[in-house]
Chain A
Amino acid sequence: MGLDKNQIAKRIAQELKDGYYVNLGIGIPTLVANYVPENIEVTLQSENGLLGIGPFPTPNKVEADLINAGKQTVTYVDGASFFDSATSFAMIRGGHVDLTILGAFEVSEEGDIASWKVPGKLVKGMGGAMDLVASAKNIIVAMQHSNKGQSKILKKCTLPLTGVKCVKRIVTDLAVMDVTPNGFKLLERAPGVTVEEIIAATEGKLIIEGEIPEMKL
């Protein structure tokens, strides 16, 4: 039960507003680009130095010098611009990017996020994630609610943190929740998923007020 990755992306796309500059992380967030509503215009930022990401190129248009932050070949849209990494993070750190959407291993009820490191296991690095979460005006996390029965929506993160008190909204396979001073506020549930199932999958404090509507996808 619950949403698949594309459905999570589709739900998150409803958060986009006309004129937004948006940074999409690797994984589910990248899929959000496929569901931008037709009546609005958003500009996608790639932190390696591109404002105005276009779709993947056709095979004859692949260009080694034109990639996104996930190192995938991309194209650019009309009105795009290219710049160096310091300028790119000036956009991010300076609060010029309206919305950041990224994945996570865990989030806490205080809005902390862990997304970059599993001690003793894989060594990858934080890339731009720490800069993004520390400075974005608005952060939406796309993630799985739990993994093998273990909740990832926690009182406190167990893994090394990417940032503290920064997550605003979370969209999982089961629910949409906001991080509030009092805990996770349940806003919507995935089609066919009950409030009880969400409670069972959530370790952190969950606030449930009134009837919780189903997501409209």
Chain B
Amino acid sequence: MNKVVKNAEEAIKGMSDNMTVMFGGFGLCGIPENVIRVLAQTQIKGLVCISNNCGVDDFGLGFLLKNKQIRKMVASYVGENAEFERQMLSGELEVELNPQGTLAERIRAGGAGIPAFFVPAGYGTEVAIGKEEREFNGKMHILEHALTADFAVVKAWKGDTNGNLIYKYTASNFNNMMAMAGKITIAEVEELVPAGQLDPNFIHTPGIFVQRIFQGVNYEKRIEQVTTSNPK
């Protein structure tokens, strides 16, 4: 078993036009910077991207958006990106907006082998249009379908050569479920260690979900809104 690849270029081998690709992260927190950077240098286009957000104009998935590599975006909140809004309103970009918890659960379900499930979120709103509705315990629910992807690209803090992953603070977000939902899951990590060096008690994503792993370089870790308080 060898899951370790050299870098992002090697990790995305086999990715091609019109594939469905999941990208972990919430805003710019916990995004796979290395893979996005390298993908933006390829000619791969027509991608269906599943990600909670779509980066900002000059970072994250915003790079792929600017290059028009994304055909369809499945997300929950895209408010920080003017180019996104422009492409969506002009019809160049197809967009499917999901309630955030529904998006998270659709991905988890995809990875867990559950094809569909009922949730109350979105009932009575435009999200419910065309979806089966059913009452459970006196409350209305709508049917949501699982999501899977040709590739899932996630970012972790630490990983080992078996693909076990640990996230830092709030950078787990969508990464943990997306790792489960990719036919091929690529994990880029800040620190890659030999198997046996991470405490098995504290693994977030078990290695079975990860097919390719590499140690990323030059993490910028950009912050969307630096908010501080005064030292006491």
Contacts and interface: CB of A to CB of B under 8 A. Distances in A.
Question: A and B bound?
Answer: yes
Contact of A65 (B126, B221, B228): B221
A82 B169 contact: yes
B123 A48 contact: no
Nearest to B78: A125
A71 B100 contact: no
A124 interface: yes
A85 B224 contact: no
Contact of B229 (A57, A65, A122): A57
B88 interface: yes
B88 A123 contact: yes
Interface stretch (A12-20, A129-137, A188-196): A129-137
A47 B222 CA distance: 20
B79 A122 contact: yes
Interface in A71-110: 71-74, 76, 82-86, 88-89, 92-93
B78 A74 contact: no
Nearest to B85: A123
Contact of A49 (B95, B124, B172, B224): B172
A135 B121 contact: yes
B177 interface: yes
B183 to A, nearest CB: 19
Contact of A89 (B27, B30, B101, B231): B101
B125 interface: yes
Interface residues of A, number: 53
Contact of B77 (A50, A67, A125): A125
Interface in A35-77: 46-50, 55-60, 62-68, 70-74, 76
A161 interface: yes
Nearest to B232: A58
Interface string B192-229: 00000000000010000000000000000111111111
Given A93-B119, A127-B77, A160-B125, A85 B100 contact: yes
Contacts of B164: none
A164 interface: yes
**Residue of A85, A122, A164 with most partner-chain B CB within 10 A:** A85
A128 B76 contact: yes
Interface of B: 26-30, 52, 75-80, 84-85, 88-89, 95, 97-105, 107-108, 119-127, 157, 167-177, 204, 221-231
7 contacts: A64-B28, A64-B221, A83-B172, A85-B103, A92-B101, A123-B79, A127-B76
